[in-house]
Amino acid sequence: MSHWTIGADVAWVGDTSRVALVDLKRPDEPAVLTGSSAAIWHTIGHASWGEDVITSVAELFDVPADTVADDVRSFLEDLEARGLITREDGRHG
């Protein structure tokens, strides 16, 4: 299971419907997330374990977790590839 963390150099503001963010290492590439993308981003700050993010997003949109699981995982991997979030595998403690 993966633990997701917003990158240390990422500044952001918003809520579950819209998020504006910028990687301070690449300030010329700001991003605005809306809809489900914003909800996933916002959820990372409150439930950063992969399955918890999926559950939170599913509850927010009132759908079964397996309906959104693949899309949420794919989006998290995309954010990681862009350097906006980092992943640590395994739950400790």
Mean pLDDT calculated for residue range 36-60: 85
Parallel, antiparallel, or unpaired for β 18-23 and 31-34? antiparallel
The pLDDT, as a whole number, for residue 76 is 93
More confident residue, 45 or 24: 24
Domain residue ranges in the chain = 8-83
**H/E run at residue 65:** helix 65-81
Section 36-41 average pLDDT: 92
Which is more confidently placed, 65 or 93?
Answer: 65
- pLDDT grade for 93, boundaries at 50, 70 and 90: very low
Global pTM reads: 0.85
